[in-house]
A and B are shown apart, each in its own frame.
Chain A
Amino acid sequence: MTDSYAVDVEGVSKSFGAFKALNGVNLRVRQGEIYGLLGPNGAGKTTLIRLICGLLAAHAGTVTVLGQRMPNVAVLRHIGYMTQQAALYPALSVEENVSFFAAINGADEGVKDALELVELYDRRGSVVATLSGGLRQRCSLACALVHRPELLLLDEPTVGIDPQLRVQFWESFRRMAANGTTIIVSSHVMDEADRCQRLGLIQYGRLLAEGSPADIRAQGGSQNLEEAFLALAGRKAS
């Protein structure tokens, strides 16, 4: 049953010219699950996320999101996408940015909640161009979840975020997941990986290993998640 999965990626390949960025990726994420995408730079994480929200079209395979084949504009209102670089309007204030993304996603409320979640409510009047990198990242996250999407795609959301706030972010991710939001998050940070319910390791455009953090530890033969990953990656590469 495809319907029980929020995201179902089957045999997806994507090339840029002669370069194969994704090669036969299969991936299923259940509703309310937090799924971590891990992999070195250039592995294909961002490309996979773009395929899931329909920004790119696959050359082979299918992507099904919330029961609909992608690309599909109707599904997009239920997806929140936080891009890897904080993509914001520098001339607008924090609140104006968040309100804009709320409006284009058809939500009029939730701006205050989103700003409070990322602790930017007090800075809501600041112009984005004057914000520090981490503050921009927070504003970008607020823009992605302001319309309370059913599926959140977060591309390295905690880069540049200080440790205290990072803990709070993961608290809120867990709360949202408990309320039924599906979250796919890419990361390089291993202690974050440990907070995911399931992990997928991507390298050279292939899904090398998949499972809960405990499964990954077992497969990699190490109690340390980072070492387990390096072992898995090294084994497949050689």
Chain B
Amino acid sequence: MSGHRVRAITRRLLQGFRRDRRTLALLFVAPIVILGLLGYLMRGSTSSPSVGIANEDSGPLGVMVADALRHSSHITTTDISAADGDAGLKDGSLVAYIVLPSDFSRQAQNGNVAPEVHLEGSQPGVDAPVLQALQQAMIALASQVAGRNVTFQPQIKYLYGGKSYDTLDYFGAAFVGLVVFFLVFVITIVSFLNERSQGTLERLMASPLRRGEIVLGYMLGFTVIALVQAAEVLIFSLAVLKIQNQGSVFLIFGMEALMAIAAVNLGIFLSMFARSEFQAVQFIPLVVVPQILLSGIIFPVSTEPKALQYLSDVLPLTYAVNGMRDIMVKGADLTWSSLQLDAGVVAGFCVVLIAAGTATLRRRLG
């Protein structure tokens, strides 16, 4: 062991960083961006899901329970009629609705209430506050019914998913697409950078190849790899992990293919802004982590602070994740307008990224 030689290595590393301002900046900017985002997301989230209340009780107690629900800090409520509830769940304006049946007051006097709770069911994490709010309203109710114990047996119904769904089923749908997206993104950005550093890009530029041909060639090559990977991920998820799937396997595969194409082009585009593999590696968490946080996988987009919702709305992954959940949890097919929108937006991103990658390609040698 020679302290002198060890110091030489350490010094060499730091000297390199001093010249590589961009890596240095990314090194210190990336954690702040990621942690800041996480903090804002968790503290600022308006995690009070919107719940419809249909009070059909002819007696006095329904009004009282509805009122208690309205004042709950866990949920935001709107009054609806029971017939409109499912439509609200489907178009996403409600995550749940509660029906207090016409004989609700009588049930309470008899000591056994059974309000209906309809949950949308495709978003993990929003069911708990709904049930919690109802529980508290029931405690308030019990104190009103003198001299009796009131037992509480909510009738829970799921529009999608349901009791048999576990956490993996909810997250699995999103992650099936995510895994492919990020792995393809990483190999593209690195191999495009190699092309630059080993000098072959200069040769390509001195050949009659057009920029668009390079970008398309890359896209096709990596898409082939990505599709094989997508097939593997899908088979593993469905056959081994047994993630529940309501939709068509071909649709899932199609959505994955679109995500892979978007990832390849995002990789090509971003590699234009990295001068070294070092910098490219820094890009990865900066691109990956915010997208995971903001795409609605963990925190539903509707519960994000308003400012972050705008950001979520322009990220391709938000639409991709939503599309995957639509297919796998809700069993959506191409006749669903929400799925058409999701697939359309992801395809649109692909086109924009191809154009952007092509446009940025030549500049570097000029």
Contact = CB atoms under 8 A, between A and B. Distances in A.
A189 interface: no
Interface in B175-233: 198-200, 202-210
A198 B44 CA distance: 74
A181 interface: no
Instruction: Please classify how large the interface on chain A is, using the bins under 10, 10 to 19, 20 to 34, 35 or more.
Output: 20 to 34
A56 interface: yes
Nearest to B217: A104
Contacts of B204: 104
Interface stretch (A70-78, A169-177, A221-229): A70-78
A87 B208 contact: no
Nearest to A106: B208
Given A55-B202, A88-B200, A76 B365 contact: no
B3 interface: no
Q: How large is the interface on B (under 10, 10 to 19, 20 to 34, 35 or more residues)?
A: 10 to 19
B213 to A, nearest CB: 8
Contacts of B199: 83, 85-87
A143 B204 CA distance: 11
B91 to A, nearest CB: 51
Contacts of A54: 206
A101 B206 contact: no
Contact of B202 (A79, A87, A89): A87
B210 A81 contact: no
A76 B208 contact: yes
B366 interface: yes
Most buried by A among B198, B203, B210, B365: B203
A73 B210 contact: yes
Contacts of B208: 73-74, 76-77, 104-106
A209 interface: no
A196 interface: no
A99 to B, nearest CB: 14
B157 to A, nearest CB: 57
A76 B198 contact: no
A231 interface: no
Contacts of A85: 199
Nearest to B213: A104
B106 to A, nearest CB: 78
16 contacts: A76-B206, A76-B207, A77-B208, A79-B206, A81-B203, A81-B206, A83-B202, A86-B199, A88-B198, A89-B198, A90-B198, A101-B207, A104-B204, A104-B208, A104-B209, A105-B207
Given A76-B206, A87-B198, 12 more contacts: A53-B206, A54-B206, A55-B202, A55-B365, A56-B366, A73-B210, A76-B207, A87-B203, A89-B198, A104-B204, A105-B208, A143-B203
